[in-house]
Structure 1
Amino acid sequence: MSVTGERLKALREARGWTQEEVARRLNVSRAAVGHWERGKNEPSYDTLIRLARLYNTSTAYLIGETDDPSPLSAAQGRKRPRSVPPAGWGRLTDRQKEYVRRVTDEMREIMVKELLDGEQ
């Protein structure tokens, strides 16, 4: 089971939800939820964001980039320097590293947009 899968399952069970309930809330199949939880498939980037919102956590937590399940906020400003890889980085496959980079870059863009929109 992947870190993402383990965390998705733990978050779902902590709320007392079934896979069917999560699937309904996200408008996906129950099988998709089961595959994510067992590590057979990874959720798409868009779905990862929706999952983070559903479970009130961060995408960084869902993919194992942090062990802190609290949602990230712009006010917290938690950010790692790019020169320091996260713990466990060396154990990831190239595909997993690329996934982390893509999600991180896209989240950065979303956060900047939200911050700029909030200033208006």
Structure 2
Amino acid sequence: MKFQPERLIQLRNTLNINKAEAARRLNISPMVYGRYENGQREPSYPTVGFIAQTFNCNVDFLYGTSDKTDPDYIIVSSSNDPELYSLIKMIKQDSNVEGRILTYARKLLEK
């Protein structure tokens, strides 16, 4: 797999942000970000994962192996959202809780 710079440009344009803002969100220098976009430098796989997470997209989209931009996963951290993190942790530990919460969620989504 090879990183596709044009996909990064497409994603940035979809987010309606400039290169400087993209670099700021990724906590990298504008020069490094510019090198990613113009293909002079290929980001490491962990960096591509961070780009995907930060810009809420799919890693495979950035590698050009999928046209799907929606992410395959969402990261929930205990420091950013402790209540949701605790809920997910509880669901993972008890399948009965998982079933009850999913049933309740489905009913909420029907309304």
Give the TM-score taking structure 1 as reference length: 0.56
Asked whether the 8 Å contact 1:12–1:18 carries over to 2, the reply is yes
Paired letter, 2:65 = E
Distance in 2 of aligned mates of 1:41 and 1:28: 13
Distance in 2 of aligned mates of 1:3 and 1:10: 13
Distance in 2 of aligned mates of 1:23 and 1:73: 23
Moved over 3 A (4+): none
Q: How far did 1:3 drift?
A: 5.9
Q: How far did 1:56 drift?
A: 1.2
Match runs of 1:38-117 below 5 Å: 38-73=38-73
Name stretches of at least 5 consecutive residues in structure 1 with no aligned partner.
Answer: 75-116
Paired letter, 2:52 = A
Asked whether the 8 Å contact 1:4–1:36 carries over to 2, the reply is no
**Does residue 12 in structure 1 map to residue 12 in structure 2?**
yes
The residue number in structure 2 matching 1:109 is none
RMSD: 2.2
User: 3-state DSSP class of the match of 1:119?
Assistant: helix
User: 3-state DSSP class of the match of 1:34?
Assistant: helix
Q: What does the per-residue CA deviation read over 1:14-50, in whole Å, with 9 as the maximum and x for residues that have no partner?
A: 2221111111111111111111111111112221111
User: 3-state DSSP class of the match of 2:72?
Assistant: coil
The change in CA–CA distance for 1:3 and 1:26 in structure 2 (over 3 A counts) is closer
Q: Percent identity?
A: 35
Q: Which has the larger radius of gyration?
A: 2
Q: What does the per-residue CA deviation read over 1:51-98, in whole Å, with 9 as the maximum and x for residues that have no partner?
A: 101221111111111111121149xxxxxxxxxxxxxxxxxxxxxxxx
